[in-house]
Chain A
Amino acid sequence: MKGWNRRVGGMVCCLGVLALMAGGGAAYGQSTGFTDNIYPVGKLKPTDSVPRLKVGDVAPDFTLPAVQGGTVSLSQFKGRRNVVISFVPAAWTPVCSDQWPGYNISRKLFDKHEATLIGITVDNIPTLYAWTKQMCNPGEKLWFPVLSDFFPHGGVASRYGVLRSDGVSERALFVINKKGIVTYIDVHDINQRPFLDALARALEEANRQ
């Protein structure tokens, strides 16, 4: 029964996501408990923040707690790895688990470009623990660190210019090369998922710079 719940949990997330992607937003007839946990935010203003960084800038360093335990600092990768920072707006929202599960099966792509992926939201650790757990197979974990930018609230998102006026972050991708320089910024329409293709091209570019 436990396994079934997990399976259906993942399924319902996908179902809800696609209903929204299709622009329908129609109520979906799945009556499991998990469906009710996805908060329907409706269609949002595509972007709602003031850019603070541009390509070529030095990426601001930060240290944040990780859901996997301990802390992660951007500076620990300098000179060793390219870094992709994926800000997503908030846990348990539509387009919900809809981006990182794709990254979770794309480790090869990141490794190929000597890149480390870091996921960041403004949620607290317990929320992120529950949310990210349902993205994986039972007993497995996401391969990349997920960091909590909860307190001071949205501090890192703010320094990266992606904190929206309602306190959640944009759906944004930053690529930072081994020198610590920002080589790619995609502050995406919050209602849409960025295609992996663009990120793959950005990673190729990061290695050239």
Chain B
Amino acid sequence: MNKKMSCALFALLIAVASLVSACATTGGGEECPISPDGAVKAMPAGTKDFPMSELPPPANEADRKYLGLSGGGNFPVRQIKAQVVIVEVFSFYCPHCQRTAAQINDLYRMIEARADLKGKVKLIGIGAKNSAFEVDAYRERYHVPFPLFPDEEMVLTEKLGVKGTPTFIGIRMAENGAPRQFYFGEGGFADNQKFLTEIIRLSGL
């Protein structure tokens, strides 16, 4: 083995070791899922408790019904009637969120069209640093069919450790105890079907 080949082998070993280490530190098990288009890597955050934050009341009765909420007022995420909740942290001001709004609407429709997922997997959006007025404007502009909530003071956004929009978070709901976060993906994804398959696989649904 010549010197050049030794160096290449050594570099390869370092790269593999780094990858294994990165997965291990995120607690994600034996593999790091990569978003379907390969453009944006989504590393599993490991499962951890979803922050105990309340969301404001849904904007309308249809949203309330979709989420399975009975009372009025603010509500904790754990009250959402679902087995898995996908959270999109978005912003009214984010061009990438705007460009992919129709795609995320399609994701919602894809879930609702599948008998094995409807009612079990639900989708919500949280507007980072957006007022209720801005979230309403975004909903209207893009005809968003799933519930959107403002996070004007970035309370939940900061607790979730979100650094940019859009970010997608997967939560597995629990019969008892706090919901568990099992997925944290920054940037978005190109293929709804592949994303959904990955969410289902990681959630253990």
Contact = CB atoms under 8 A, between A and B. Distances in A.
Answer whether A and B are interacting partners: yes
Interface of A: 4, 7-8, 10-19, 21-22, 24, 26, 28, 30, 97-99, 101-102, 105-106, 108-109, 134-137, 193, 195-197, 200
A101 B164 CA distance: 16
A102 B138 CA distance: 9
A18 B95 CA distance: 13
A14 B91 contact: yes
B104 interface: no
Given A11-B40, A15-B187, A106-B141, 14 more contacts: A14-B96, A15-B164, A16-B164, A18-B128, A18-B129, A18-B163, A19-B163, A21-B128, A101-B98, A108-B141, A109-B137, A193-B93, A195-B133, A196-B131
A11 B188 contact: yes
If over half of A's interface residues share one DSSP class (helix, strand or loop), that class is named, otherwise mixed; here it is helix
B51 to A, nearest CB: 15
A101 B95 contact: yes
Contacts of A26: 163
Contacts of B94: 10-11, 13-14, 17-18, 101
Contacts of B183: none
B39 A19 contact: no
A108 B142 CA distance: 13
B198 interface: no
Smallest CB-CB A-B distances: 5 pairs: A15-B164, A11-B96, A10-B95, A14-B94, A102-B93
A109 B187 CA distance: 29
Contacts of A14: 91, 93-97, 164-166
Contact of B158 (A22, A97, A134): A22
Contacts of B184: none
A7 B95 CA distance: 9
A126 B134 CA distance: 31
Contact of A136 (B95, B164, B188): B95
If over half of B's interface residues share one DSSP class (helix, strand or loop), that class is named, otherwise mixed; here it is loop
Given A13-B95, A14-B94, A21-B129, A4 B39 contact: yes
Given A105-B141, A195-B133, A196-B134, A11 B91 contact: no
Interface in B182-204: 186-188
Contacts of A196: 92, 131, 133-134, 137
B154 interface: yes
Nearest to A14: B94
A105 to B, nearest CB: 5
A109 to B, nearest CB: 7
Nearest to A135: B95
Contact of A22 (B39, B96, B157): B157
27 contacts: A4-B37, A8-B39, A10-B99, A11-B40, A11-B96, A11-B166, A11-B187, A11-B188, A14-B93, A15-B187, A17-B164, A18-B91, A18-B94, A18-B162, A18-B163, A18-B165, A22-B154, A28-B163, A99-B93, A106-B137, A109-B137, A136-B95, A193-B129, A195-B131, A195-B134, A196-B137, A197-B131
